[in-house]
Structure 1
Amino acid sequence: MTLTQLEIFSLVAELRGFTLAAHRLGISQSAVSHAIKSLEQELGVELLRRHQSQVELSDIGEHLLLRARAMLGLANTLRQEAADARGMKRGTLRIGSFGPTSSIKLLPEILRHYRQAHPGIEVHIDEGPDRQVIQWLEERRIDLGFVVLPQERFDTFALIEDQMVALLPRDHPLGKRSALSLKALCDDPFVLTEAGSSELVSRLFNAARLQPNIRYRCSQLLSTLDTVSRGDAITVVAESSLPDTPEPGYVKIALTPRVQRQVGLAVLDQRQASPAALAFIELATHLHSR
């Protein structure tokens, strides 16, 4: 068993295809197939089931994939620690990011300083809903991720705090209020943003034993803002996720009682995190402790 075989297995499982994995790795499809077959023969189990152009993990394949990614993560940490001894001139850092708060408000400044300090580190950024970032962390697809705190299953590092606000169309009858309760937001059509803090919004209503009238679900915040601006629905979002628009088509109103949101970084296990990941965390916390 080799790390190359495990890397190929992990990529085939992620992309659900031999051809896509071969293109990503820059090798032939036959080389990918040979690596998987050799690994299956050595382990004595079927890792992947082939279905025409796509593949899916077997039950044991799903279990062993987590082990394989853990081994690859430790191997990457080993390489990073060796690189750290040489001044961390080379390496890879995989980051998971959700919504405008992390992807637009936080990441650019952190990455600018990080590239200056560690120009040899190759940074990969995967973007998805907050729950997707959690899953990527658990599956070891990323080294660290931006998350909404608290997250007790990970080692976390707080960065910023903002508040949740209601967004209403500019001409909405409640638009002149200084604050709104969650109950006041349950009658109108509601649009839920799948990216960002959708899990937090759902938990807020559930904790209050309320049910918003969800009529729309948008994968991106910009689509949500457009839906509100057209007068089709109202919503609840994090204040720091809103763009700096001179005259938006919506009004922003605080919730009562106030609902704070904290965003930070998370790693599966700080003790096993690579030097590149730890350097990113140290820089990010330093920048946002000012």
Structure 2
Amino acid sequence: MDLRQLRYLDAVASARSFTAAALDLHVAQSALSQQVAKLERELGVELLRRTTRRVEVTEAGQVVLERARRAMAEADAIREDLDALRGLVRGSLRIGGVPPVSGLHPAKLIAEFAAQHPGVDLTIREDVAARLIDELGKGRLDLVMALIDPTTLPPTLQGRRLTDEELVLILAPDHPLARRRRIPHAALQGERLVAYGAGSALRAELERLVEQPQVIAEANELGTLQELVALGLGVTLMPSAVVASTPPTTLAVRPLHPRVRVPVSLLWRAHERPTPAAAAFRDHVIQATTIRS
């Protein structure tokens, strides 16, 4: 067996699909399938079970993957340590991100970092906070920016609180609540809600504010949520920076009373030395946030 075969196995197991894994790896699907099959023949076990809809990892596959991921991490660390000795920042960096918030624009920070470190291969994941944090804990992401307080993390993770963001209520301009300058929390009871999917920080905040929330639509795209609200389907919470420039004819944006603020944090795995690329990005974000705050 070789590292390439192990990387192929890991890619298919993570994507649960040969097609998706081949696209991620930029290789032909036939070559990918051949290498995984060769590895299975060499080990004498079935590692992946193919079904009509997806690929499942077998029990033997899980055993192999656990050791394979450690081996791949050590091989990557050798290159990264040597690059660090030469003062270079290379390798891969996998980041889980959040929407823009006041004083912090993740996409801009990532673009600035990429321009400064062209030798780093960047992968960016957008998803609800709970799934990103789970991926971080499993080693599938290096860093995550999330609307979460680092003190609430399990001991395997830690982070830095970068800033706080105010959440505001968005609603259709002709909604009865739009006549108010500020929206008391109690006024949200019984309102129809459009919300992010379960596991998102914004969904959790809605459920904290509203007893027995009546969620009639879910979406994980900011634009989709805003469009549904503008069409009068329901109301929702959103970071103030996201809707700061929204025309009042499209959406009504109202602060809550009392105001609601959530922390914006950069998260990483505890008790683990970051790769040079992850350490450099972490320093870049913290420095940029300090300067802009």
TM-score normalised to the size of structure 2?
A: 0.83
What is the match of residue 92 of structure 2? 92
Counterparts in 2 of 1:234 and 1:66: CA distance versus 1, 3 Å: farther
What is the match of residue 281 of structure 1? 282
Q: Find the aligned partners of 1:270 and 1:88 in 2 and give their Cα distance.
A: 24
Q: Is contact 1:70-1:140 (8 Å) kept?
A: no
Counterparts in 2 of 1:124 and 1:41: CA distance versus 1, 3 Å: same
Aligned residue identity for 1:188: E
Tell me how far 1:192 sits from its aligned partner: 0.5
Tell me how far 1:165 sits from its aligned partner: 1.4
Q: Is contact 2:171-2:252 (8 Å) kept?
A: yes
Tell me how far 1:163 sits from its aligned partner: 1.3
Counterparts in 2 of 1:20 and 1:98: CA distance versus 1, 3 Å: same
Q: Find the aligned partners of 1:262 and 1:49 in 2 and give their Cα distance.
A: 42
Q: Deviations over 1:230-257 (max 9, x none)?
A: 2221111222332623445222222233
Select between 180-189 and 67-76 the one with higher mean Cα deviation.
67-76
What is the match of residue 128 of structure 1? 127
Moved over 6 A (4+): none
Counterparts in 2 of 1:237 and 1:38: CA distance versus 1, 3 Å: same
What is the match of residue 187 of structure 1? 190
Q: Find the aligned partners of 1:119 and 1:101 in 2 and give their Cα distance.
A: 26
Aligned residue identity for 1:192: A
Aligned residue identity for 2:8: I
Q: Find the aligned partners of 1:163 and 1:37 in 2 and give their Cα distance.
A: 52
Q: Find the aligned partners of 1:116 and 1:26 in 2 and give their Cα distance.
A: 23
Q: Deviations over 1:253-277 (max 9, x none)?
A: 2223322111121112363310100
Counterparts in 2 of 1:63 and 1:188: CA distance versus 1, 3 Å: farther
RMSD, aligned α-carbons = 2.9
Q: Is contact 1:159-1:265 (8 Å) kept?
A: yes
Q: Is contact 1:69-1:139 (8 Å) kept?
A: no
Counterparts in 2 of 1:43 and 1:145: CA distance versus 1, 3 Å: farther
Q: Is contact 2:148-2:201 (8 Å) kept?
A: no
What is the match of residue 159 of structure 1? 162
Tell me how far 1:66 sits from its aligned partner: 4.8
Structure 1 unaligned blocks of 5 or more:
none
What is the match of residue 211 of structure 1? 212
Tell me how far 1:215 sits from its aligned partner: 1.1
Q: Find the aligned partners of 2:115 and 2:99 in 1 and give their Cα distance.
A: 25
Aligned residue identity for 2:283: E
What is the match of residue 241 of structure 2? 240
What is the match of residue 252 of structure 1? 253
Matched, 1:262 2:280: no
Structure 2 unaligned blocks of 5 or more:
none
Q: Is contact 1:13-1:56 (8 Å) kept?
A: yes
Q: Find the aligned partners of 1:262 and 1:140 in 2 and give their Cα distance.
A: 23
Q: Find the aligned partners of 1:28 and 1:116 in 2 and give their Cα distance.
A: 30
Tell me how far 1:218 sits from its aligned partner: 1.9
| Equivalent pairs, count | 287
Aligned residue identity for 1:11: A
Q: Find the aligned partners of 2:139 and 2:48 in 1 and give their Cα distance.
A: 19
Q: Is contact 1:158-1:263 (8 Å) kept?
A: yes
Aligned residue identity for 1:56: E
TM-score normalised to the size of structure 1?
A: 0.84
Tell me how far 1:15 sits from its aligned partner: 2.7
Counterparts in 2 of 1:212 and 1:85: CA distance versus 1, 3 Å: same
Tell me how far 1:47 sits from its aligned partner: 2.2
Counterparts in 2 of 1:165 and 1:68: CA distance versus 1, 3 Å: farther
**SS of equivalent to 2:147:** strand
Equivalence map 1:1-290=2 (5 Å): 1-27=1-27, 29=29, 31-40=31-40, 45-52=45-52, 54-62=54-62, 64-101=64-101, 106-151=105-150, 152-153=153-154, 154-194=157-197, 199-207=200-208, 210-242=211-243, 244-269=245-270, 271-290=272-291
Q: Find the aligned partners of 1:94 and 1:14 in 2 and give their Cα distance.
A: 14
Q: Find the aligned partners of 1:133 and 1:124 in 2 and give their Cα distance.
A: 13
Q: Is contact 2:101-2:165 (8 Å) kept?
A: no
Q: Find the aligned partners of 1:150 and 1:229 in 2 and give their Cα distance.
A: 31
Q: Deviations over 1:102-128 (max 9, x none)?
A: 9x9522332343234322222221222
Q: Find the aligned partners of 2:177 and 2:239 in 1 and give their Cα distance.
A: 19
Q: Deviations over 1:139-162 (max 9, x none)?
A: 322211211222413221222211
